[in-house]
Structure 1
């Protein structure tokens, strides 16, 4: 900021004085490099898959296609990862149509990674005897953090994630709140297979997950691309 006393026509000082016009506006978004995207998606899918493993170990459910896959895994003698891949296949075409091949391929890779990692955790950790409250809340917290990382690298975990992100892009509705509404139906459907008290606990966990996303993934806040 200039402090010269010889200038008699200076305009009133503003917080932006001393900067150029270009610097008075927010800087342009800086794109993630390929290495950053790869590491980000690997980190996000690991966190999300570990969260889902905690949920399955607690015999709980959550929302979205992950919750649907968990429900089906309690009745179908197939690994969770296989079921998770299968229930997400119908949404791949929607991702290509609405978000383009780049987003769709990233999403396909993320879904595949979660499916593979979901099979790795039991082999590495074995069967867990876990407190249900810890498993449900901790699992949803990990899944929510994983989703945040995945979203910020232009990917998703398919299913309702794609629909929620589309509505956020088009209508500026927060993805977490949109998904929260959609998840209610999945959690309520669990009443047919899961004890009512576990359904209530699962609903609280799903709410926690979506609040994490809603409070941290607002349109226009994050500039990385």
Structure 2
């Protein structure tokens, strides 16, 4: 996922920048909020039969093909990446990420039984998915966590080989969406692309270190 690189305007310079570490209460709130928003996004996504990128998208695609529940698949898919996360980002990040992945795995199942849609048009759902998931990911990033997966692998390969992390993520998503093209029904592929674009747009605009500094 790319980050915004525009020069800060005068209005942007007035945004309060918080330095230092979060408290345990703040981290707890951030992880709960972030995973809940992402869980809500997964409910929208799977209700419409769409996919997204990264390991969440892989887990969704596997669940469509096999009929297995998203939560357990997502948890298992991320297991190989924790050692890379520890090696590249440290123990604190890895623990927070493990907790976030476990919470999302559980919340996606719970929210799927508690949230029902009488009617949701695909294009509106794709945009809502992008907004709520982007919001959730921002919360996790700002509290020193992630939802694991390909981003960690990308950073690891960048350190070891010089191959840019963004290219690793892009390559993975291209492969994922190529498979999805043959699996999804009707216009779901195009709506899936819309949702993925909105997620990345939200993160690109809002995830800036010069606006917010905390772990």
TM-score (norm 2): 0.81
Unaligned regions of 5+ residues in structure 1, if any?
Answer: 1-25
Matched, 1:57 2:47: yes
The separation in 1 between residues aligned to 2:86 and 2:181, in whole angstroms, is 34
- How many residues end up aligned between the 2 structures? 198
1:103 to 89, 93, 97: 93
What RMSD, in angstroms, separates the aligned Cα atoms of the two structures?
2.8
Please, what TM-score do these two structures have when normalized by structure 1?
Answer: 0.78
Q: Which of 131, 155, 161 is 2:145 aligned to?
A: 155
SS, match of residue 75 in structure 1: helix
Indicate which of 118, 135, 140 corresponds to 2:125: 135
1:199 aligns with 2:189: yes
Which residue in the other structure is 1:92 paired with? Answer: 82
Could you say which structure has the greater relative contact order, defined with CA pairs below 8 angstroms and 6 or more residues apart? 2
**Do the aligned residues in 2 keep the contact of 1:137 with 1:205 (CA within 8 Å)?**
yes
Helix, strand or coil: the match of 1:30? coil
Partners in 2 of 1:57 and 1:27 — Cα distance? 38
**Structure 2 unaligned spans of 5+:** 1-15
Residues 110, 155 of structure 1: 8 Å contact kept: yes
What's 1:35 paired with? 25
State the alpha-carbon separation in 2 of the partners of residues 85 and 59 from structure 1.
20
More helix by share: 2
